[in-house]
Amino acid sequence: MRRNSRSLRIEQLEARWAMDAAMAGSVHLVPEGEGSPMADFQLRDINPASSRFGETVSPRDYLSQVSAWYFGHST
């Protein structure tokens, strides 16, 4: 008889502040995702399946759009 084994993992979540109207004036919090802008950079697209393969790509190409950037590294 084969026994299935599962492991239980616990993930620690970050603390969040709950603000009411009285606290809002005394605490200055930067909303998530609204920090200072990143420095502009450009990378060459090396994904052969991409429509922009071989071209340089920058976050500025996608202003006011949702975008995700993945920087992978392997040895």
Q: What is the pLDDT of residues 3-51, one digit of tens each?
A: 667 777 777 766 666 655 555 566 666 666 666 766 788 989 998 999 9
User: In the prediction, which pLDDT does 23 show?
Assistant: 59
pLDDT greater than 90 at residue 64: no
Question: What CA–CA distances, in Å, run from 37 to 9, 33, 69?
Answer: 35, 10, 15
User: In the prediction, which pLDDT does 48 show?
Assistant: 92
